[in-house]
A and B are shown apart, each in its own frame.
Chain A
C-alpha cells in the first residue's frame, strides 16, 4: 500500500523542457532519494507527484489507482518543504490537525493522531506554540509531524534539511531515518546533497537535466556507475577523471576515486607537484597538479606529511579504474 509508478512523465514550462521523460517505480515501503544538481528538475518532479503541478504528458499511479488528474488532497500523500511552510496563524497543534479537519475526521481521531505524531517527534511541549515562537529545527520537526499525522501512503520531502545548520542536519537526518523504520511508509526524498542521499536511501535516483541517469542502491551507484555524471556525482571527494589514452587504458576517460590512488615520492605513473594539502585528522587529502590531467585528488587515510610544491608520483590501482567512452558512457 504505497507503491508509486511514473510512466513517461514530461513537463515543459513554455518551450523549456524541464522533465524529459521519466519512468520510475518506487516500491512499497521504500526510501527513495532523488538526487541531482540544482535546477535539474527534482522539485518539479516531486511537485508533479504531489499534484501541485500538472505533467505535460505521462501518467502517475499509486498502487492500482491512476492519480494523474487527482487533486493533491486526494492523493493520500504528505509533503515536507524546505521552507517548512507552517501556517503562521495556527498553533503547532492546529498545523498538525488541519488536514484531518479538512478531511472531516472526528475530534477524537484528530486528538489521537496528533498525540501519536507529537510523541514520535517529541513535540508534546510545543503543541500550543505558534510557528513564530519555534527555532528552525523545531519548525522542521513540526512540518514532519504534520505529514505523519495524515498517515499518508507516500511521504514527499523536498530538501527538508537545507535550511538547518550542520549539527541539526545530522540529527534530523537520523530522525527521518528512524521515522522511516518505524512507519514503514514509502518515502521520496529530494536533495542535492549526495551525502544525504547515500546515508538515507534504499534506492537513489540520480537526475540530470530532467532525465534519470541511473537508479540503484547507494553502493551500486558508488561501485558501478553507468556514466561519467553518476560517477562524478556520487562519492565525496569527487572521482578523478584522467585522460584515458595517455594512461594506455580503454576509452576516452579514466575514472578513479581519490582513495584508489597511490602516492609516492620516488616513482609512479603520473608525475606532478602538490598544490594543496588538507589535513582532516582521520584522512589527508593531497591535491596534485599534472600538466595533462589537471588537478588530481588523492585521499590517504590517517595523517601524512606532504608539503606544497613537493614533486610526487600518483598511481591508479588498475582494478579500481572505470573507463568511459567519448559520450561519457561506461565501457565495462
Chain B
C-alpha cells in the first residue's frame, strides 16, 4: 500500500518505520457540545499494529474521542497527529482522503449503504480511492470470504442478518488496507458467539495487515481481544493499571 504524500508544511515521512513514534497521537483534546463538556483534556496514542480498547461509562466521551481521532469532528482544543501530520492543519479534502484511504470504520449497526449489494459496499472505499471496479470487487469478494459471509455478495443490507451485516462492515473496513481501524461498539448488536467471532476475525485481519485498531467497547470480553485498554472518565483518558497517577 502506498501511503498518501505528506501534506506540505509537515515533517511527515510516511515511508519511515513508525518504530519511534506513535502512528496516531492525540494530546489535550477538549470538546464541548454547547454547555456539555464531552472531552476535557483527553490524550491518547496508538502504535502501528496495536489493538487498544477504549472503555468507560456511557456518556464519558468515548465516541467523541474516536470521532476526533478519525478527523470526523474537530476538537475545540488540542491536537491529533497521524503519521506526524496534524489533522486540523489539513484541508477538508485532504482529511476526507485520509478517512477513505488510511482509516477504516466499523460501527455498532454496520451502517452499510442500503442501495448497494454487500459486495459493492465492501468495494466502495476502494472505488472511492480510485481502484478500478473489477479489481475492487475482486478484493471485496476475498474479504467477504475471509469474514465467512460469501453468500451475501449479491444481497442488499436489508436482506441479511445483523451478525452478517457486522461481518460485511468489518470486511469493508479492512479491505482497503487502512492503517487504523476505528471500531465503535462493533459487537454491540450481536450475541456472544457472533460477537466473539467478529472480534476474532477483526483482530486476526488487523494483525495480518498491520493495521492499528481503536476499539470502543463497554464489554470486558470484547476488550480482552486488545493489547491494552484505556478508560475514558469525565472526558479524560486514564490508564487503569497505573493507579491514580495514571493520567496519560
Are A and B part of the same complex? Answer: no
Which B residues contact A (CB, under 8 angstroms)?
A: none
